[in-house]
Structure 1
Amino acid sequence: MSAWSDIFQITDPGYVALVGLIFLGAAIIKGFLGIGLPAAAMAFLTLLMPPTEAIPLLWLSILGTNSLQFARAPKKWDIAKEYWLFALAIVVCIFVTSMFIADYPTALLTVAIGIAMVLFSLNLLLGIKLRIGPGRGWQAVFGVISGTLGGISSIWSPTVAMYMVARDVDKERFIGATGFLFLCGVLPLGAGQIVAGVLTFPVFLQSVFVLMVVLVGYRIGELLRSHVSQKLFRKAVLIAFLLMGIRLIFNGLAA
């Protein structure tokens, strides 16, 4: 089905319902973990449509959920001061790489992201921790990697989470900091996709429908999060990345 362009005529209600369920599930993960909406959605959307159609469909939902996430975070100014270099690197790299999104070998990138997610989650689940110091240099490095991956695939949560988990950031700070870093990357991502010609007005209208579904799922995930301990939260993050990474690898190999 080309570009999901007939959604508002509902020519295939089953297709629209399936897309809605995918986004509902991805949003529950996002509300619960604070991360994972693009990765979880892309793992299944690529089974239904080309990545160049799925990626811009995520833009408005990424903007909406991360705006809510950061708006509810305590000590916003402290978060911004601590992670400004990380955010700047993400902004620059996302904009530059997203302008050429139609030209990248998406299948190869999807496999690479999936492998990184699997290795990262397995290492930490087995008790092996990355050695990352408090220096700004680490933020710049992870920001460049995150922005490059995010601009090409709309998925920059794995490397952001790698940094936060390695730094032993507590649950509430994790939610606020990741919300800030994801929110900073959304506008340059949209701008780059407009330049590339993949984020069009019809796609934007489709994403409005997606956003309504996502906000419901996001709230469900938030309610679940309030009843989970930090230890279980950390494990849930890693298990979610492991499962999503495996799914991305299979998607990339099958492309």
Structure 2
Amino acid sequence: MTDFIMASLLPSLDPLIIGAIIAIFLFAGLIKGFLGLGLPAAAMALLTLIFEPTEAIALLSLPIIVTNLYQFSRSEDRLETARRYKVFALAIIISIFVTAWHITVFPTEILTSVIGVAMITFASQWLFGLSFSIGTGAGWQLGAGVMAGILGGLSSIWSPPVVMYLMARKAPKESFIAATGFLFLVGSFPLAVGLFMSGVLTIVAVIKSLLGLGAALIGFRIGETLRAHVSQDTFRKAVLIAFMIMGARLVFNGLV
């Protein structure tokens, strides 16, 4: 009976695919645990080697929700953070939902290139400290939120506009951690809903995502442990350089 149910739910999930999903999310979770960021970028760089971009994004749904929920739950002043960034959050929620809902109308080449550009931007801002001057008005949050939502809906990576905004505002360390946890979390739910409504997030994708979630959580704990024994700066630079190379590969593949 169990074999029949599994065969019905996972008609094409062979052991090699299972092993690949577990290995990829184990690695991505390790990156997240060690650096505190980078799970979507790390996972997308490898998932797109074996899955179509839309399927790869769907597989990230549960790991993104759970890891960001964990991150935000451990932050301080959660209510104050939500109040301070409510415009930013609303812009992300609406734009990421609308974009993810219509993700199937975008050609694979465009999705591949967008994912690559998101990875390069993500890596560049951390390697080179990219920032810009912004004002205190709500319009800046609205603009950055819409940019983050569109990027997130197309690639599952919406951290670049979020982080660049917070860096430009010179957010203190604890405020930065709380804000990123909040803004990453609020975007993860409409992303999942939008993907479901577009038909990309299916029951098979959810089961695969659950496999990825388990591996990501294990990797997260390993990453936290390694953080105390390995030079974080050296490891971070190596990972970000790898992100840039893999992002450039995706852009090239999307253009040729």
The TM-score, its normalising length taken from structure 1, stands at 0.84
Q: Label 1:136 to 1:172 Cα distance change in 2 as closer, same or farther (>3 A).
A: same
Aligned match of 1:171: 173
* Offset at residue 132 of structure 1 (A): 2.4
Aligned match of 2:251: 252
3-state SS, counterpart of residue 132 of structure 1: coil
3-state SS, counterpart of residue 131 of structure 1: coil
The counterpart of 1:208, out of the listed 202, 207, 210, is: 210
How far apart, in 1, do the equivalents of 2:221 and 2:88 lie?
28
Aligned match of 1:85: 87
Work out whether 1:54 is the aligned partner of 2:53.
Answer: no
How far apart, in 2, do the equivalents of 1:148 and 1:38 lie?
15
Aligned match of 2:45: 43
Q: Label 1:102 to 1:172 Cα distance change in 2 as closer, same or farther (>3 A).
A: same
C-alpha RMSD of matched pairs (Å): 2.9
How far apart, in 2, do the equivalents of 1:58 and 1:49 lie?
12
How far apart, in 1, do the equivalents of 2:197 and 2:27 lie?
30
Q: Counterpart amino acid of 1:108?
A: I
How far apart, in 2, do the equivalents of 1:147 and 1:173 lie?
21
User: Any conservation in 1 of the 2:144–2:165 contact (CA below 8 Å)?
Assistant: yes
How far apart, in 2, do the equivalents of 1:207 and 1:120 lie?
23
How far apart, in 1, do the equivalents of 2:62 and 2:28 lie?
14
Q: Counterpart amino acid of 1:244?
A: F
Q: Counterpart amino acid of 2:253?
A: A
How far apart, in 1, do the equivalents of 2:73 and 2:172 lie?
18
User: Any conservation in 1 of the 2:47–2:56 contact (CA below 8 Å)?
Assistant: yes
The counterpart of 2:72, out of the listed 70, 73, 81, is: 70
3-state SS, counterpart of residue 132 of structure 2: coil
Unpaired segments ≥5 residues, structure 1: none
Aligned match of 1:184: 186
Q: Per-residue displacement from partner, 1:45-87 (whole Å, max 9, x unpaired)?
A: 1001111211111101111101100010111111111111110
User: Any conservation in 1 of the 2:21–2:211 contact (CA below 8 Å)?
Assistant: no
The counterpart of 2:21, out of the listed 19, 22, 41, is: 19
Q: Label 1:245 to 1:136 Cα distance change in 2 as closer, same or farther (>3 A).
A: farther
* Offset at residue 162 of structure 1 (A): 1.5
User: Any conservation in 2 of the 1:99–1:193 contact (CA below 8 Å)?
Assistant: yes
3-state SS, counterpart of residue 40 of structure 1: helix
Work out whether 1:100 is the aligned partner of 2:102.
Answer: yes
Aligned pairs for 1:233-252 within 5 A: 240-252=239-251
How far apart, in 2, do the equivalents of 1:49 and 1:144 lie?
27
User: Any conservation in 2 of the 1:10–1:16 contact (CA below 8 Å)?
Assistant: no
Q: Per-residue displacement from partner, 1:189-211 (whole Å, max 9, x unpaired)?
A: 11111111011112112211111
How far apart, in 2, do the equivalents of 1:200 and 1:124 lie?
34
How far apart, in 2, do the equivalents of 1:153 and 1:120 lie?
12
The counterpart of 2:139, out of the listed 137, 140, 163, is: 137
* Offset at residue 90 of structure 1 (A): 0.2
How far apart, in 2, do the equivalents of 1:221 and 1:195 lie?
34
Identity between Structure 1 and Structure 2 (%) = 47
Runs of 4+ in 1 over 6 A off after TM superposition: 226-229, 235-239
The TM-score, its normalising length taken from structure 2, stands at 0.83
Aligned match of 2:223: 221
Q: Per-residue displacement from partner, 1:103-136 (whole Å, max 9, x unpaired)?
A: 1134334434534653575466456631123332
User: Any conservation in 1 of the 2:118–2:151 contact (CA below 8 Å)?
Assistant: no
Aligned length: 248
Unpaired segments ≥5 residues, structure 2: 1-6
* Offset at residue 32 of structure 1 (A): 2.9
